[in-house]
């Protein structure tokens, strides 16, 4: 790729994660769909928070987690996302900068509070998310700075950002700026429920060339093409997308183009502790390799390594440098 100041500029919801362990009956009592993500209002956020056991707080948000993962792998990452000038907003800004990510979005002084995601982790490591988007929904085109987008080899957009119309406009403005500068645009589909809401629009973004590289898991892919047949969905994806990465948990992952499919196995994991951030960190690993010009198989292995590391711990931010692990595995120098 041509020279750039940033490898990846990630744009998404700036969220503080609150994680707590929970038995499955807690999910049932509160009408939660295990493994899913539900958008909730402030009243529901207070109700869920009251039902949670002791927890930990850490800056999160899908695209922000990807940016932090890229930085942990030695890459140059930036993030754009809106918080309020409140306690959680301060926590978010501190954490993401401490992770080595460039972050300069101005905090709002009025309006809703900083977003938070209440994550209940069941004994099998599966995470169920309840997200109050708050200030994150108020990202606008004013938060998109042309110089920042033009400086990044890849602008990475979070599918969750497609919910609020002003953020959707910001998303499209960033894509236009990136392509105008000869850069690439990536999109993560984020969640099968998100795909259900915006299936037609996501397909249009992919077919129309607004998006150059798509990230999705098996469930999201099947939802996109409304089929239970994985192979049929891959055929459709190869027809529509320039490039795509599809993750399948323990079945590994694939890089998909019209001409070929390259697959690698999942990285071995001793014990699944918490699946929060697995897809985010897979994207971080893949994009690190991709922006360095590594071959698709090596980039996929970097993704698998990062995802495998993150599901062996609580939380979606690496607790030890991923670059060290990648070097030990012979994937990065």
Answer whether residue 322 is part of any domain: yes
Query: What is the predicted pLDDT for the residue at 160?
Result: 87
Answer whether residue 123 is part of any domain: no
DSSP string, 193-213: HHHHHHHHHHHHHHHTTS-SE
- Residue ranges of the chain whose pLDDT lies below 70: 1-2
* Domain containing residue 315: CATH number: 3.40.1190.20
Residues 6+ apart with CB under 8 A from 146: 177
Comparing C-alpha atoms, which of 58, 54, 47 is closest to residue 21? Answer: 54
Q: Tens digits of per-residue pLDDT, 191-205?
A: 898 999 999 999 999
Query: What is the predicted pLDDT for the residue at 1?
Result: 58
Strand partners, 131: 39, 117
Answer whether residue 151 is part of any domain: yes
Other Cβ atoms closer than 10 A to 176: 15
Please count the structural domains in the chain: 1
Q: What is the pTM of this model?
A: 0.91
Answer whether residue 34 is part of any domain: no
Beta strands 184-188 and 213-217: pairing type?
parallel
Tokens of 332: 């990065």
Instruction: Quote the domain boundaries for residue 81.
Output: 6-13+62-86+96-111+137-329
Answer whether residue 32 is part of any domain: no
Query: What is the predicted pLDDT for the residue at 100?
Result: 97
Q: Tens digits of per-residue pLDDT, 270-317?
A: 898 888 899 999 999 999 999 999 999 999 999 999 999 999 998 889
Distance CA 220, CA 239 (A): 17
Residues 6+ apart with CB under 8 A from 61: 12, 13, 14, 15, 17, 81, 115, 117, 136, 158
Residue 93, φ and ψ in degrees, nearest 5: -60, -45
Answer whether residue 213 is part of any domain: yes
């Amino acid at each position: 790729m041509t020279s750039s100041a940033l490898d990846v500029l990630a744009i998404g919801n700036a969220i503080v994660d609150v994680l707590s362990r929970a038995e499955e009956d807690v999910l049932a009592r509160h009408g939660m769909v295990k493994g899913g993500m539900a958008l909730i209002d402030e009243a529901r956020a207070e109700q869920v928070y009251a039902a949670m056991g002791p927890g930990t707080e850490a800056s999160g948000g899908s695209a922000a987690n990807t940016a932090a993962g890229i930085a942990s792998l030695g890459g140059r990452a930036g993030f754009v996302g809106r918080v309020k000038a409140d306690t959680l907003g301060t926590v978010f800004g501190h954490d993401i900068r401490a992770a080595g990510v460039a972050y300069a979005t101005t905090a709002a002084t009025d309006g809703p509070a900083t977003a938070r995601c209440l994550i209940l982790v069941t004994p099998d490591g599966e995470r169920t998310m309840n997200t109050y988007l708050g200030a994150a929904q108020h990202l606008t085109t004013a938060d998109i700075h042309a110089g920042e987008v033009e400086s990044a080899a890849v602008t990475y957009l979070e599918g969750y950002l497609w919910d609020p119309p002003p953020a959707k406009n910001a998303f499209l403005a960033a894509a236009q700026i990136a392509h105008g500068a000869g850069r690439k645009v990536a999109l993560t589909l984020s969640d099968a429920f998100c795909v259900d809401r915006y299936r037609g629009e996501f397909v249009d973004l992919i077919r129309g060339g607004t998006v150059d590289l798509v990230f999705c898991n098996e469930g999201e892919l099947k939802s996109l093409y409304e089929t239970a047949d994985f192979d049929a969905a891959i055929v459709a994806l190869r027809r529509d997308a320039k490039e795509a990465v599809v993750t399948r948990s323990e079945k590994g992952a694939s890089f998909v183009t019209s001409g070929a499919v390259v697959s690698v196995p999942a990285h071995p994991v001793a014990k699944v502790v918490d699946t929060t951030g697995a897809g985010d960190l897979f994207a971080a690993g893949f994009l690190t390799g991709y922006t360095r010009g590594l071959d698709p198989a090596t980039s996929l292995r970097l993704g698998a390594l990062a995802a495998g590391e993150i599901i062996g711990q609580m939380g979606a931010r690496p607790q030890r440098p991923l670059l060290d692990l990648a070097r030990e595995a012979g994937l990065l120098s």
